[in-house]
Amino acid sequence: MARKIGLYGIIGYFLYGLFFYWYLFHFTNTSLPFEYQGTVADPATFLNGRELMLSEEYSKIRNLLFFLSTPFEWLFYLFIMLLGLSTLFKGWSEQSSKYKFVQTSIYVAWLSLFAFIATTPLSYISYKLSKQYNISTQSFGGWMKDELIDFWVNFGMMVLIVCVLYWLINKSAKKWWLYAWLLTIPFSLFLMFVQPVVIDPLYNDFYPLKNKVLETKILDLADKANIPAEHVFEVDMAEKTNALNAYVTGIGSNSRIVLWDTTLNKLDDDEILFIMAHEMAHYVEKHIYIGIAGYLLMSLIGLYLTYKIMEWVISRYGSALKISSVKDIRSLPLFLMIISMLLFLSSPISNAVSRYQETRADSYAVEMTKDAEAGISTFQELTRAGLSQVNPPFLVKVFRYGHPTMLERITLLEDYQIEHRDD
């Protein structure tokens, strides 16, 4: 049975990869519909021939890597169970200590290490791709440093989560999913609160915006929107990427408005103010809190489904997967695999909600600044800097895009220009 499951897993992953290769490289047509050709949304009007070619090449390969990486994670967890590695990790952990917390930590350490080794080649390919197309400016040492920080941050959180999770499972085999969900509420809020001041600085240096004239303009804009902001932060990203970004992060007193220095270097003040107005819209329309509520709802459904699926899988395939019960720490790879699958399958819903919020934020920004031209030039520069497709394939948009496509974003602003031409 174990061999059959493993064979089906490999064949399924191979066919899945072939489908997306065919879909991305031979089936889809990313050219613009006739009615948009020659407009400001047409990349041929603001990208040169080489940039057009590179954006298509880069986007196709990057999208293929995205669609291959998540199911590869599922395959990894499947073989951790089928090959008995999960049993081996459990044995090593029990031999190392008599304390349950230490045993769990050691098990998680081995699982995390093997996952890191298995997924690093795909991560490296993605890094080399972005380097080849001049998106990434990061040295190999810098990239490896970030990967190791990721590993230790994820390991620390994983140990805490797994210890609590399996304590709940052992205490209540039928309701652990509900108790786990109740704990995700304060834990998620805590993470959002500490991320800007504890986690993010591990990767980059943050400091108050140096351009005080621009900061005054941004804070004036925030004041118009009744946003209690006192400082704008910039982050040193030029050593890592040529891409542009700005965002609002955190909640409560730890909320921050952050600009990448690449954005400051490549956009003028009007374009930056448009981006800031867009980010402020998320605060004004309470998108952060709506997002938290949506995440908690999806988490509740996801944990319940995980509970039901784990019970079914173990009852039917437990011997092949070498899992005796849900309480067994060896079921952790199954738990992680199911969670990953549910996140992937639910991403079209979360992305659709996010795209709606981002469209609202674009509309708010142009209404607030009355500067559609700055918005259009901003999105054109974002396309150029990130070598993005203006009109991506349908499945790419559905599974990858938390923002509207550049075609949709630029067209919205162009429509605003036409409607207010005589204002």
Tell me the pLDDT tens digit for each residue of 284-337.
888 888 888 898 999 999 999 999 999 999 999 988 999 989 999 999 999 999
403 annotated as ligand-binding = no
Tokens of 211: 């351009």
| Average pLDDT estimate for 343-352 | 95
Question: What whole-number distance in Å separates Cα of residue 387 and Cα of residue 130?
Answer: 10
Of 263, 262, 249, 145, nearest in space to 196 by CA:
249
The pLDDT value recorded for residue 364 is: 94
In a domain, 272, yes or no: no
pLDDT classification of 195: cutoffs 50, 70, 90: confident
The pLDDT value recorded for residue 379 is: 94
Tell me if residue 234 is catalytic: no
Task: Say which of 279, 328, 371, 408 is annotated catalytic.
Answer: 279
Give the C-alpha distances (Å, rounded to integers) separating 381 from 38, 376, 390, 414: 17, 9, 12, 16
In a domain, 106, yes or no: yes
The per-residue pLDDT for range 173-189, each reduced to its tens digit, is: 899 999 999 998 888 88
In a domain, 322, yes or no: yes
Residue 126 near residue 64 (C-beta atoms within 8 A): no
The per-residue pLDDT for range 83-105, each reduced to its tens digit, is: 999 999 999 999 988 888 999 99
In a domain, 193, yes or no: no
Mean pLDDT of the residues in the chain: 90
pLDDT classification of 123: cutoffs 50, 70, 90: very high
Task: Say which of 73, 215, 234, 362 is annotated catalytic.
Answer: 362
Q: Which of 97-101, 203-207, 226-230, 310-314 has the lowest mean pLDDT?
A: 226-230
Query: 180 or 255, which is more confident?
Result: 180
In a domain, 48, yes or no: yes
Query: What percent of the chain has pLDDT above 70?
Result: 97
Q: Give the CA dihedral 77, 83, 89, 90, nearest 10 degrees.
A: 100
Q: At how many degrees (to 10) do helices 332-369 and 269-284 cross?
A: 120
| Average pLDDT estimate for 67-86 | 94
The pLDDT value recorded for residue 423 is: 60
Question: What whole-number distance in Å separates Cα of residue 238 and Cα of residue 137?
Answer: 7
In a domain, 216, yes or no: no
Task: Give the side-chain half-sphere CA count within 13 A for 75.
Answer: 18
In a domain, 158, yes or no: yes
Of 144, 160, 147, 12, nearest in space to 78 by CA:
12
Q: What angle do CA 306, 150, 83 make, to 5 degrees?
A: 50
The pLDDT value recorded for residue 253 is: 64
pLDDT classification of 252: cutoffs 50, 70, 90: low
Query: 67 or 245, which is more confident?
Result: 67
Tell me if residue 42 is catalytic: no
The per-residue pLDDT for range 127-162, each reduced to its tens digit, is: 999 999 989 999 999 999 999 999 999 999 999 999
The pLDDT value recorded for residue 408 is: 95
* Residues of the domain holding 77: 2-174+314-355+389-419
282 annotated as ligand-binding = yes
| Average pLDDT estimate for 275-290 | 87
The per-residue pLDDT for range 20-71, each reduced to its tens digit, is: 999 999 998 888 889 888 899 999 999 988 999 999 999 999 999 999 999 9
pLDDT classification of 216: cutoffs 50, 70, 90: confident
Q: What angle do CA 261, 263, 266 make, to 5 degrees?
A: 110
As for how many domains the chain has, the answer is 1
Residue 235 near residue 260 (C-beta atoms within 8 A): yes
pTM equals 0.89
Tokens of 194: 């500490």
Query: What percent of the chain has pLDDT above 90?
Result: 61
Residues 6+ apart with CB under 8 A from 231: 208, 209, 215, 256, 257
The label of the residue with tokens 């795209």 reads 355
The pLDDT value recorded for residue 3 is: 85
The alpha-helical segments, DSSP class H, found in 173-256 are 176-194, 212-224
DSSP per residue, 233-296: EEE--TTTBS---EEEE-SGGG-EEEEEHHHHHHS-HHHHHHHHHHHHHHHHTTHHHHHHHHHH
Q: Which of 2-11, 143-152, 344-353 has the lowest mean pLDDT?
A: 2-11
pLDDT exceeds 80 at position 192: no
In a domain, 195, yes or no: no
